[in-house]
Amino acid sequence: MINELSALGIKILKQKGEYKTTCPQCSHTRKNKRDKCLSVDITNGLYNCHNCGWSGSVQKFSTKPDYIKPLGTNIQLNKRVLNWFEQRKITESTLLHWKIGESLEYMPQAGKKRRVINFNYFRDNELINVKFRDSEKNFKMVSGAELIFYGLDNIKELDTVYVVEGEMDALSLHEVNLYSVCSVPNGASKGNQKLEYLDNCYQYFENKKTIILCTDNDEPGLMLRNELARRFGYYKCKYVDFGEYKDANDVLINADKDTLRNIILNAKNFPLEGIVNIDNIWQNVLNFNEKGLKNYSIGMGNSDNYFKLAFGEWTVVTGIPNSGKSDIVDQICCNLSTKYGFRCAMYAPESFPYEGHIKRIANKLNEKNCTNDDLNNTKDFIQEHFHWVKIDLENLTLKGILDAFKQLVLQKGINICVIDPYNMLDHSAQKDYSYIGRLLSQITQFCQQTKTHLFLVAHPRKIETIEGKYKKPSLYDISGSADFFNKSFNGLIVFREIGQKSKYKSDIVSVYVEKVKRKENGQLGSFQIAPDFYNGGGVYKHFTRENKKFEVIKDNNIPF
């Protein structure tokens, strides 16, 4: 792992374990260039910048852990610990309800054993994890234990639940008689929004009517709030604005119980439809002004010059049969999952049976034709990052597919959705020309409400030839309506260049970017890639002018 991390420009300070250092991506641009904002885990090959969000793993595929269970813990508290909580306005009765304990524990930040407070994490009255905190605000959790919400057993019965950012905030809400409260286990991080604990506990939130998000007022807290709302569904969430206070415990300490209760009970709705309240989105306006639109590389040759992906949008992809539309969308999903850790949901009836589709995904991830050993080594990664919607009558309508995608946003934190192709949906409800426009508007609404990106593969209505060669279609040629061009955010056309060969013994494929609604995401133009037939086929790679060659077509037979 050391060589791979070093190759990214990360300063190697240890041979194993975890440490913090400067970030090669952003530290040179910051006012405090010495701030150690990059967390590095050498043992597991992980890195995460808490300032710019640069993160990843040099270990391409990881296996699912076998969670360990912590040993029993002492829930007796001495007078010193009780006094410490009393200064923070937390009473002994609250500590007893939450089964707070103490122990002597080695704290790696201090390099020695210390007397620590134990925040015990229970699920169905079973101890799942423990967070240890010493007097200098050093934390650690049980290594290898499962991450879950703190206070899960408190939220099982009621329809309204409160989600806070730390254990002390959960105790503070309990002090003001708000008992259906739980906390995220590891606070908020500016860069990392992978909510493993929600993956493990989503069932507890599926049927809740209202979820009140009580995160801190700083930037990491706001990012956590937005990701939780995306996963739960904005329509069922409200959020708390602590104003001049940092968090719930800060209100309890510096004001009183009534003030805290009133702040919580006056939670605000997320803006969904109708008139936008400027106050509700002002912080987002400031963030956009400072940082611009966040977008992501699809990792296809020099595609960054023409198209980058942004959330809250959708892209239509078209091309003549056998041009590689589905294959290229699969490759984009593989690139996004390995580069950014994004999770993908697919409705792809033309790729049925899904066993074959999974095999093709594995080939792309491994960049070769996989053996059974390769498939087994990649299984956990595919299981975490790729999810398929079943092909049945219920899921033949766009509404059924989008409802399934919404469930996967909650359960798995899906970022990328694929419908491949549009013409395989049930369109029996079509009565007039406005039908397609309404469906595409539903896709736009879905992407904006879930902060996802959706790829819609659609076939052209007709295939034209010129002197025996297929003509590149346009977005207006998509079967059904000009709205595929008019309403999409981005439009890609995949076209196999017959006779232009690559070193991979395959035709070159040109991807034409014929629509980019927001200039921040790219420009009109094209880039070229080719499937690598030396390594399993279907693995699309970039090539340079030096390894591109041309062949003369001597007749009009098109090898499709």
Output the 3-class SS for 300-363. Answer: CCCHHHCECECCCEEEEEECCCCCCHHHHHHHHHHHHHHHHCCCEEEECHHHCCHHHHHHHHHH
| N-term to C-term CA, the chain | 44
Indicate the angle between helix axes 398-412 and 434-450, nearest 10 degrees. 10
Question: What backbone phi and psi angles, to 5 degrees, belong to 189?
Answer: -120, 135
Residue 123, burial from CB neighbour count under 10 angstroms (0-12, 13-18, 19+): middle
**259 CB-contact burial (10 Å; exposed 0-12 / middle 13-18 / buried 19+):** middle
- Architecture per CATH, domain 155-292, reads as 3-Layer(aba) Sandwich (3.40)
C-alpha–C-alpha distance, residues 43 and 18, integer Å: 8
More confident site: 272 or 163: 163
How does pLDDT run across 315-352, given as a tens digit for each residue? 999 999 888 899 999 999 999 999 999 999 999 988 87
Tell whether the model's pLDDT for residue 387 goes beyond 90: yes
The number of residues making up the chain comes to 560
More confident residue, 33 or 385: 385
Residue-wise pLDDT for 416-458, tens only, equals 999 999 988 877 777 677 888 899 999 999 999 999 999 999 9
SS (H, E, C) 76-92: CCCHHHHHHHHHCCCCH
Q: Is the pLDDT of residue 494 over 90?
A: yes
Separation CA 231–CA 407 (nearest Å): 9
For residue 506, pLDDT over 80 is answered with no
Confidence of residue 556 (pLDDT cuts 50, 70, 90): very low
pLDDT at residue number 270: 84
What is the pLDDT averaged over residues 168-183? 97
Whether the per-residue pLDDT at 560 is higher than 50: the answer is no
pLDDT attached to residue 60: 64
The domain made up of 308-550 is a member of CATH 3.40.50.300: yes
Longest dimension (CA), the chain: 92
pLDDT (average), residues 13-25:
85
pLDDT (mean) for 210-239? 92
Q: What is the pTM of this model?
A: 0.80
Q: Distance between CA atoms of 513 and 493, rounded to whole angstroms?
A: 7
Q: Provide the token pair at 296.
A: 């992501």
pLDDT one-digit tens code per residue, 225-254: 999 999 999 989 999 999 999 999 999 999
Per-residue pLDDT band at 187 (split at 50, 70, 90): confident
Distances (CA, A) of 201 to 112, 150, 282, 467: 34, 11, 32, 60
What is the mean predicted confidence (pLDDT) over 545-558? 44
394 versus 112: the higher-pLDDT residue is 112
User: What DSSP character marks residue 139?
Assistant: E
Query: Quick one: pLDDT at residue 285?
Result: 73
pLDDT at 394: 61
pLDDT at residue 554 greater than cutoff 60:
no
Mean pLDDT of the chain: 86
CA angle 171, 217, 219 (to 5 degrees): 125
252 Cβ neighbours under 8 A, 6+ residues apart: 88, 89, 172, 175, 176, 260
Query: Which residue has tokens 């950012």?
Result: 165
Between 379 and 26, whose confidence is greater? Answer: 379
- Give the model's pLDDT for residue 37: 87
What percentage of the chain has pLDDT greater than the value 90?
55
Whether residue 52 has pLDDT greater than 50: yes
- Domain ranges in the chain are 2-57, 63-146, 155-292, 308-550
Specify the range with the lowest mean pLDDT, choosing from 6-15, 275-284, 289-298: 275-284
Q: Could you report the per-residue pLDDT of 245-289, keeping only the tens digit for each?
A: 999 999 999 999 999 999 999 999 887 655 566 766 676 677 666
Q: Could you tell me which of 337, 285, 341, 312 has the C-alpha nearest to residue 53?
A: 341
